[in-house]
């Protein structure tokens, strides 16, 4: 492949210096304008320089799209404030008319009706615009995730330093997108942490971040996500663990999403130190809450929590829990921990229940199961389960590309129901799925890859109708 010096100018000086040692042959010449043109012969088998140039061009285009959407979000905020002011004024006016109807004529009533219709039309228009921006942001995120995955593979195959510059550019775009989505959420979804909805309406397409931090395709067991109740200063902290079987012997923390993708860990905690302690677990259904790892203990069947602040572990039995009933996709998933807006939960099965799911609410102070609900769904038929606002959601496989939320159990009403909320899998087998109430997202560990989903809810009330459900 022949590349001119101009191509290398599109990169960084670091790329030029790194590539220089790979040149197999070179020549220099001058054109009539006096410009010196240098040519280098760089075989495709040595380094995919053309691919990186193309990816940088894509980065410029993504950045342009992102700037447009950021500008739109700012405009939406201004419009929304205007519409809220109009609605407030109309509310006051209608209240005055109700209190003193004799002071207002039919003309006044018609005028108010016209104003209501105008505001309604504006809200419908704004809602359509918001939905379009939401779709564009998701598309941009998918584009960035796919490219980062490609760059990760290039980094494994080729010289890390040469790929790193372009990879960082995309991660900067990823951070910019995250900031835009956060602002979007603040404006249009003020309900994070609040349960004023009627349950899940739909799930987004999978957002694939990249292969696990170990860059090991054999690490098919594991999990990742965010702290469901972060300590102050740790709101952006992410965690990860992966391994080739269901043993749990380590937890790695990252200060934010960027460092997770860059594999730059802030801390790593071992659950086993020879001759000192053996706090290892098993299964793939652990969570982090208040900087504490909740997981299934290995040496004696029960639940354990590892406090990463005090570096101490506590173990408790779960009354009647059986080690015989695991989820459909993986062995040893006998205790499944979950956290939502209302606290900490564990699901399991008992011999008494004949393998049907049992849901327990955990008292976080005493670390005991304080309340129990019996469901009618057979645990080995379930792919995984998670909790949202005190409601249990269970999934099952539809086909190799599709998973489905098929069952719910509401602990408030003790009512269960069979539903159909399909969503796309990245690959056919996954071992970890949990909801995080801090961002209303699902986190999945799918065949060694970090995957996540946005969740849309059925909202009540007029203001919530403007929410896109991030």
Report pLDDT for 47. Answer: 57
Plot region of 402 (φ>0 → left; ψ -120 to 50 → alpha; else → beta): beta
- Is residue 335 over pLDDT 60? yes
* C-alpha span between 86 and 428 (Å, rounded): 50
- The pTM of this model reads 0.65
Q: Confirm whether 244 is domain-assigned.
A: yes
Report pLDDT for 174. Answer: 65
The verdict on 379 and 437 lying in the same domain is yes
The verdict on 269 and 381 lying in the same domain is yes
* C-alpha span between 424 and 376 (Å, rounded): 26
Give the whole-number percent of the chain exceeding pLDDT 90: 46
* C-alpha span between 364 and 402 (Å, rounded): 35
- Is residue 170 over pLDDT 70? no
The verdict on 119 and 6 lying in the same domain is no
The verdict on 239 and 345 lying in the same domain is yes
49-99 vs 106-157: helix crossing angle, rounded to 10: 160
Mean of per-residue pLDDT scores for the chain: 80
177-181, 284-288, 408-412: range with lowest mean pLDDT = 177-181
Q: Confirm whether 11 is domain-assigned.
A: yes
- Is residue 179 over pLDDT 50? yes
Q: Confirm whether 65 is domain-assigned.
A: yes
Q: Confirm whether 290 is domain-assigned.
A: yes
The verdict on 72 and 218 lying in the same domain is no
The verdict on 324 and 379 lying in the same domain is yes
**Are the C-beta atoms of residues 218 and 435 closer than 8 Å to each other?**
no
Report pLDDT for 83. Answer: 74
- Is residue 191 over pLDDT 50? yes
**Are the C-beta atoms of residues 201 and 454 closer than 8 Å to each other?**
no
The verdict on 242 and 316 lying in the same domain is yes
- Is residue 15 over pLDDT 50? no
The CATH number assigned to the domain holding 57 equals 1.20.1050
Q: Which domain holds residue 135?
A: 49-186
H-type alpha helices, 337-396: none
Q: Confirm whether 404 is domain-assigned.
A: yes
The verdict on 401 and 253 lying in the same domain is yes
CA atoms within 13 A on the CB side of 35: 7
Q: What is the pLDDT of residues 42-74, one digit of tens each?
A: 444 455 666 766 776 777 777 777 777 777 777
Q: What is the pLDDT of residues 291-312, one digit of tens each?
A: 999 999 998 899 999 999 999 9
The verdict on 130 and 202 lying in the same domain is no
Considering 186, 211, 236, which residue would you say is the last residue of a domain? 186
Read off the tokens for 39.
Answer: 């040519």
Q: Confirm whether 294 is domain-assigned.
A: yes
The verdict on 204 and 347 lying in the same domain is yes
Report pLDDT for 177. Answer: 65
Residue with tokens 């004696």: 300
Q: What is the pLDDT of residues 351-361, one digit of tens each?
A: 999 999 999 99
Of 286, 71, 268, the C-alpha closest to 184 is 71
Q: Which residues pair with 455 in a beta bridge?
A: 203
Question: What's the domain count of the chain?
Answer: 3
Q: Confirm whether 470 is domain-assigned.
A: no
Q: Which residues pair with 449 in a beta bridge?
A: 211, 446
Report pLDDT for 391. Answer: 97
Report pLDDT for 353. Answer: 95
Report pLDDT for 108. Answer: 75
Q: In what order do the strands lie in the sheet with 36-41?
A: 2-4, 36-41, 26-30
**Are the C-beta atoms of residues 442 and 453 closer than 8 Å to each other?**
yes
* C-alpha span between 63 and 171 (Å, rounded): 12
Report pLDDT for 143. Answer: 74
Region 181-204 average pLDDT: 74
The verdict on 102 and 152 lying in the same domain is yes
The verdict on 167 and 249 lying in the same domain is no
- Is residue 4 over pLDDT 90? no
- Is residue 218 over pLDDT 80? yes
**Are the C-beta atoms of residues 360 and 408 closer than 8 Å to each other?**
no
Q: Confirm whether 468 is domain-assigned.
A: no
């Amino acid at each position: 492949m022949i590349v001119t010096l101009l191509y290398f100018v599109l990169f960084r000086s670091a790329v030029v210096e790194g590539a220089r040692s790979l040149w197999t042959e070179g020549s220099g010449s001058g054109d009539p304008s006096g410009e010196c043109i240098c040519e280098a012969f760089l075989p495709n088998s040595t380094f995919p320089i053309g691919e990186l140039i193309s990816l940088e061009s894509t980065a410029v285009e993504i950045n342009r799209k992102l700037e447009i959407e950021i500008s739109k979000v700012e405009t939406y905020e201004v419009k929304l404030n205007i519409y809220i002011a109009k609605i407030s004024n109309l509310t006051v006016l209608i209240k005055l008319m109700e209190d003193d109807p004799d002071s207002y004529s039919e003309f006044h009533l018609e005028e108010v009706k016209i104003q209501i219709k105008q505001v309604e039309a504006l809200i419908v228009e704004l809602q359509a615009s918001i939905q379009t921006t939401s779709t564009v942001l998701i598309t941009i995120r998918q584009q960035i995730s796919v490219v980062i995955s490609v760059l990760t593979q290039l980094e494994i195959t080729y010289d890390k330093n040469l790929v790193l510059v372009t990879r960082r550019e995309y991660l900067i775009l990823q951070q910019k997108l995250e900031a835009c989505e956060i602002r979007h959420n603040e404006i249009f979804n003020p309900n994070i942490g609040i349960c004023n909805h009627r349950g899940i309406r739909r799930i987004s397409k999978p957002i694939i971040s990249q292969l696990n931090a170990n860059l090991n395709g054999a690490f098919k067991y594991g999990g990742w996500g965010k702290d469901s109740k972060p300590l102050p200063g740790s709101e952006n902290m992410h965690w990860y663990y992966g391994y080739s079987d269901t043993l749990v012997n380590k937890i790695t923390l990252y200060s934010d999403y960027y460092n997770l993708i860059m594999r730059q860990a802030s801390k790593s905690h071992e659950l086993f130190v020879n001759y000192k302690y053996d706090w290892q677990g098993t299964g793939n259904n652990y969570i982090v809450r208040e900087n504490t790892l909740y997981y299934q203990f290995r040496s004696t069947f029960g639940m354990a929590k590892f406090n990463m602040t005090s570096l101490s572990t506590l173990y408790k039995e779960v009354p009647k829990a059986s080690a015989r009933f695991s989820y459909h996709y993986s062995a040893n998933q006998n205790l499944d921990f979950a956290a939502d807006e209302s606290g900490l939960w564990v699901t399991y099965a008992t011999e008494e229940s004949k393998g049907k799911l049992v849901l327990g609410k955990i008292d976080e102070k005493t670390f005991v199961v304080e309340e129990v609900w019996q469901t009618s769904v057979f645990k080995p038929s379930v792919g995984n389960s998670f909790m949202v606002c005190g409601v249990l959601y269970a999934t099952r496989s539809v086909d190799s590309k599709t998973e489905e939320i098929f069952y719910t159990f509401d602990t408030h009403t003790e009512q269960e129901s069979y539903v159909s909320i399909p969503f796309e899998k990245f690959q056919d087998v996954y071992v970890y799925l949990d909801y995080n109430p801090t961002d209303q997202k699902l986190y999945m560990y799918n065949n060694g890859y970090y995957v996540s989903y946005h969740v849309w809810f059925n909202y009540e009330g007029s203001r919530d109708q403007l929410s896109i459900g991030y």
